[in-house]
Structure 1
Amino acid sequence: MAAHEADVIIVGAGISGLIAARTVLAAGLTPLILEADERVGGRILTEEVLPGLPVEIGAQWIGDTHHRMFALADELGVETYPQYDEGETSYELAGAPVLRQNDFHRRFGNELTELTKVLRLLDELAAEVPPEAPWRAPRAEEWDAITAGAWYDGQGLSPVARTLLEICTVGILAVPTVEVSFLHLLFTIQTCGVTAELFAESEGGAQTTRFVGGTAEIPNRLAALVESHLVLDAPVQEIEHTADSVTVRCRGGRVARGRRVIVAISPMLAGRIMYDPPLSGYRDQLTQRMPNSAAMKAFFVYDEPFWRTDGLNGQLISDVGPARMSNDTCLPGDDHGVILMFLEGEQARTHGHWSQEERRAALTAELVRHYGDKAARPVAYVDGEWGSRQWTRGCYNANCGPLVWTTYGSALAEPIGVIHWASTDTATQWSAYMEGAVEAGERAAREVIEALS
C-alpha cells in the first residue's frame, strides 16, 4: 500500500486536531489527519433523540470568557443561544427533603456563607499556580502531596457545605475529589479564571451558551474545510520517528509519512500508541498517571417544559441521585421540554454498568421527587456513557492524582523531537473544555510551523 505524504501528520480529529490542521494548512504546509473513529469530533457527539431534536451526548456549552470558541463559531457561521436559567434550582442534600432554592437558602444560609469563604480561599491559592508550569508554584510540593478531598475535609465545613463543594467539583473534574491532587484542582481553577467562572451557570460561568444545531456543527464544519486532508477509520498504532521525519502506521496497513506529527488525543490514549524508538520512561510514566475521567448524560424529553410553569429552572442538585445535577436543555423554537441529567465520577462508573431500563427507572424516580408526577411520562429517553467508547475511553478530561504534576508534569506538552502534543488536557487556558482544545491545537500548530520554517 502506497504511503500518504504530508508535512504534518495529525493524530485525532477532535477540535484540537482539526484546529491544528487548519492552522498549518493556512501557513502553507500540508496536513494529514488520521482519525480512528468513523466520525470527527472526539468528545463532541450530537445525536437526534427525535427528528429535528438534537441532544449533546458529549460537550455542550461554552462560557462567557471562551473567546476562542465564540470567534470560531462566528467564523464558521454557527449561531449560539443562551442557556435557560430562569426560576429556582431544586435541592436534595444532607438528609433534608427536596427544597426549592429560596427555601434552601433560608434554611442553610450559614452553610452557604461557609462555602463562599472556601471558594474565595481557593481563588487566592490558585492565583499562585502558573498554568504553564503548575509544578513551579511556591507551595507545589505541599499541595501536590494531598488530594483535593483531603483539603476540603480540613476546612471544617458543615455536611451541607462539604456535600455541595463535592458535587460542584465532581461536576468539573468528573472524578471524586479523593482521586485528584489539590495542586491539580488549583491548576484547573487557575486555567479557568476563578471558581465563580467554573461553578456558575449564569453570567460569567462556564455553561452559559449553546450552539444552534448542536455542538457537532463546530467539528463538522471544521472538517469540511480540511476534508481532502482527512482520513477516517484509521487508528494509529505506531509512530516511527527520526530527527527530521515520522512514519505513522495505522491498523489495516495504512502508512503516512511526514516531517512532524501532532498527537491530538488524550494523554492516556497517546500512551497506547507504540513509538519507535520508544519514548522516555518519564513521558510514559506520565501517561500512565493521567486517566480519563468518567461521565455520562441522560436526556428526558417531554411534550412541554412543565417545570418552567412551576417556577423551576430545570436544575437540581442532589446527593441522593443517581444524578447529582441536571439542566433544562430545551431548544429555542421547539415545544418539547428536555431535561439533562449528569452522572459523573462514581455515579457514571456505577450506573454505567446498569441496563438502560434500570438507569432510566432510577433517574425517573429522582425527577419525580423534584418535579412531580409529570416527570414520569417522558416521550423519549436517551443516554450515553463514554468509558466504553473504544476511541475515547472516558470523558471529558484527564486528571492528575497526587505527586503527578510535581514529578512528571513537565512532560505533558513538551515536544519530543518531531512529536508534538495537543488536546484540551494540555491547555493552559480552560483546560478540559472546548476552549482549551482550540488553544492546544493552535499552540501545537505554532510549534510545528516554527520548526519547519
Structure 2
Amino acid sequence: MSGMTGHEADVVVVGAGLSGLIAARTLLGAGLTPLILEADTRVGGRILTEDLGGLPMELGAQWIGDTHHRMFALAAELGVETYPQFDDGETTYELAGTGVLRGNEFHDRFAGELAELEKVLRRLDGLATEVDPATPWTAPHAAEWDAITAGAWYDAQGLSPVARTLLEICTVGILAVPTVEVSFLHLLFTIQTCGVTSELFAESEGGAQTTRFVGGTAEIPKRLAAMLTEHLVLDAPVQLIEHGSDSVTVHCRGGRTARGRRIIVAVSPMLAGRIMYDPPLSGYRDQLTQRMPNSAAMKAFFVYDEPFWRADGLNGQLISDVGPARMSNDTCIRGDDRGVILLFLEGEQARTHGHWSEEERRAALTAELVRHFGERAAHPQLYVDGEWGSRQWTRGCYNANCGPLVWTTYGAALAEPIGPIHWASTDTATEWSAYMEGAVQAGERAAAEVIEALTK
C-alpha cells in the first residue's frame, strides 16, 4: 500500500513485528479490515535475518522450542521448514577462575555444587507455580517477592561461586539484564509463562532453543507480510493517537493520518509509552511504561571453512564469566559445510562492548574463542555482529523486564485495553513471554479482544 492519508480501516495496528502481523491476519480472517503502520522500512521487529556470504545470520530471534506449538503450526502453514539445533558434544566452561574446562571434567569436579544448583532450580519451579502469568500481582507472596531482586534471592541460596555464576549466566541469557535489576516476582513470572526452568535453560530436548528455520527466521514475518500487502504501510512512525469511545485517528510522521474503530499497539511497552495520546493516557499506565525498559543484547557470528570444533568432540557451546561473551552456540546452517559460531553478549556485556569499535570487539571475542576452541578459531572467513539498543525502532532486546515493585504496583496496566486502544507484543504474553511464541499469543489475544468488541 503506497499512500495512506485519511485511510479508513476497522482496526489500525501499530508495528509489523510478529505480534502486529499475527493480530492483523487474525482480524482479516474475522472479516475486519486492518491497517498496519510500521515505523521501520522492513517487517519483523525483533526478528532480523541478514545475509553474510550467502548464509542467513540471525541477528534477532533465532530459535523455537519443543513446546512452542503456535510457532510450529505457523511455520508449517507458511511453508517454512525447520531443522534441529546442533547439540552433540561437550560444552566448555570458564567460571569463577577455573580456567577452561571441558564439560565432562567440569561436571565431575563440581558435581556437588551442581547438585545444589539443581535443588535451587527445582525450588524456583515450585515457587513459580504460585504465580498466575495473567495476574502475577495476585500471587500469595507477591508483595514479598516483588520487593527483592532475583539476584538478591540467588545470593541468599548459599551456592558456591561456580554454581552462583552459572545460575547468573543462564538467567541473563534469558532476561538480558543482570539479575539485580529484575524483581524476583518477575523471574517467577517468566519461569511460569514457559513451564519450568529446564524449559528455559536447556538447549537440547525440551528446551527453548531446539529448532531453527530453513532460510532464516525472517521467512516467518516476510511470508505473513506477503499475505497482508494491501494492509501494510512501512516507514510510517506513529507519533500521535487521538482516541474517542469508538474511534481512533492516528497521525504519522510527514502528516499522514489513518482512522479506525479500534487500535492495537503492538510494540514494546517502552516504545508504546513514547507515542503521544490525546486525551493523554492515565498516569498509572505511563508510570508502568516508564518502568519497563527493554533489555540489552547483541550477537556476533564467526564463519569458518568448517566446524572444526566438532572433530574435537565439542558442541560449540561455551559458558564463561571471563567474556566478553557469556555463551556461544554452534549455529551452522543446514546444507552448508562452513562452520558458524554464534557468541552472545547480554546485559552488562552488551552495554559495555556495544560501545567498543567492531575491531576491538572482534579481537576480544576472537581471543575468547581461541581459549575455548583452539588456534583455528583465530582465523574466521567472515564476521558480523549486531547490537539492538541503537536500533531506532527497537531500542533493545530481547524483551522488557520489571524491576522491584513494578508488577505489584502497576502490572494491571500492562495489557488492559484503554477505550479503543489494545496492547500486544511478546512483553504482554502470558505464555512464553519474551519469545516468538509469546508474540504470537499476544497478537492473537489482542485481536480476539477487538473482534469481541466490534462484533457484539
List, as ranges, runs of 4+ consecutive aligned residues in structure 1 with deviation greater than 3 Å.
none
CA offset digits 1:332-388 (Å, max 9, x no partner): 110100000000000000000000000000000000000000000000000000000
Mapping 1:376-387, distance limit 5 Å: 376-387=378-389
CA offset digits 1:53-108 (Å, max 9, x no partner): 11100000000000000000000000000000000000001101100000001111
Indicate the SS of the match to 1:214. Answer: coil
CA RMSD of aligned residues (A): 0.5
CA offset digits 1:232-254 (Å, max 9, x no partner): 00000000000010000000111
1:19 has 2:35 as partner: no
Number of aligned residue pairs: give it.
452
Instruction: Give the counterpart letter for 1:89 in structure 2.
Output: T
Indicate the SS of the match to 2:40. Answer: coil
1:38 has 2:41 as partner: yes
Indicate the SS of the match to 1:24. Answer: helix
Q: Give the counterpart of 2:250 among 235, 242, 248.
A: 248
Aligned-partner Cα distance in 2 for 1:181–1:49: 38
Cα drift, residue 129 of structure 1: 0.2
Mapping 1:81-230, distance limit 5 Å: 81-230=83-232
CA offset digits 1:176-218 (Å, max 9, x no partner): 0000000000000000000000000000000000000000000
Q: Give the counterpart of 2:338 among 336, 339, 342.
A: 336
Indicate the SS of the match to 2:341. Answer: strand
Indicate the SS of the match to 1:417. Answer: coil
Aligned-partner Cα distance in 1 for 2:263–2:186: 28
Aligned-partner Cα distance in 2 for 1:226–1:387: 29
TM value normalised by structure 2: 0.99
Q: Give the counterpart of 1:9 among 8, 12, 15.
A: 12
Cα drift, residue 160 of structure 1: 0.4
Indicate the SS of the match to 2:391. Answer: coil
Indicate the SS of the match to 1:10. Answer: strand
Aligned-partner Cα distance in 1 for 2:381–2:301: 11
Q: Give the counterpart of 2:266 among 261, 264, 267.
A: 264
Indicate the SS of the match to 1:343. Answer: strand
Cα drift, residue 2 of structure 1: 3.7
Indicate the SS of the match to 1:123. Answer: helix
Indicate the SS of the match to 1:321. Answer: coil
Indicate the SS of the match to 1:261. Answer: strand
Instruction: Give the counterpart letter for 1:29 in structure 2.
Output: L
Partner of 1:28: 31
Instruction: Give the counterpart letter for 1:304 in structure 2.
Output: E
Partner of 2:50: 47
Aligned-partner Cα distance in 1 for 2:259–2:108: 65
Indicate the SS of the match to 1:395. Answer: coil
Instruction: Give the counterpart letter for 2:27 in structure 1.
Output: V
Partner of 2:349: 347
Instruction: Give the counterpart letter for 2:37 in structure 1.
Output: L
Aligned-partner Cα distance in 2 for 1:160–1:2: 59
Instruction: Give the counterpart letter for 1:273 in structure 2.
Output: I
Partner of 1:401: 403
Instruction: Give the counterpart letter for 1:438 in structure 2.
Output: V
Aligned-partner Cα distance in 2 for 1:103–1:154: 28
Instruction: Give the counterpart letter for 1:233 in structure 2.
Output: D
Aligned-partner Cα distance in 2 for 1:25–1:153: 50
Aligned-partner Cα distance in 1 for 2:76–2:41: 27
Aligned-partner Cα distance in 2 for 1:181–1:216: 32
Mapping 1:309-388, distance limit 5 Å: 309-388=311-390
Instruction: Give the counterpart letter for 1:107 in structure 2.
Output: R
Indicate the SS of the match to 2:96. Answer: coil
Partner of 1:419: 421
Partner of 1:291: 293
Indicate the SS of the match to 1:292. Answer: coil
TM value normalised by structure 1: 0.99
Aligned-partner Cα distance in 1 for 2:42–2:210: 27
Indicate the SS of the match to 2:42. Answer: coil
Aligned-partner Cα distance in 1 for 2:426–2:332: 27
Indicate the SS of the match to 2:453. Answer: helix
Q: Identity percentage over the alignment?
A: 85
Structure 2 CA distance for partners of 1:377 and 1:231, relative to 1, 3 Å:
same
Structure 2 CA distance for partners of 1:245 and 1:321, relative to 1, 3 Å:
same
Instruction: Give the counterpart letter for 1:348 in structure 2.
Output: A
Instruction: Give the counterpart letter for 2:21 in structure 1.
Output: L
Instruction: Give the counterpart letter for 1:407 in structure 2.
Output: T
Mapping 1:50-89, distance limit 5 Å: 50-51=53-54, 53-89=55-91
Cα drift, residue 49 of structure 1: 1.1
Aligned-partner Cα distance in 1 for 2:282–2:327: 41
Structure 2 CA distance for partners of 1:50 and 1:137, relative to 1, 3 Å:
same
1:280 has 2:282 as partner: yes
Indicate the SS of the match to 2:57. Answer: strand
Indicate the SS of the match to 2:392. Answer: coil
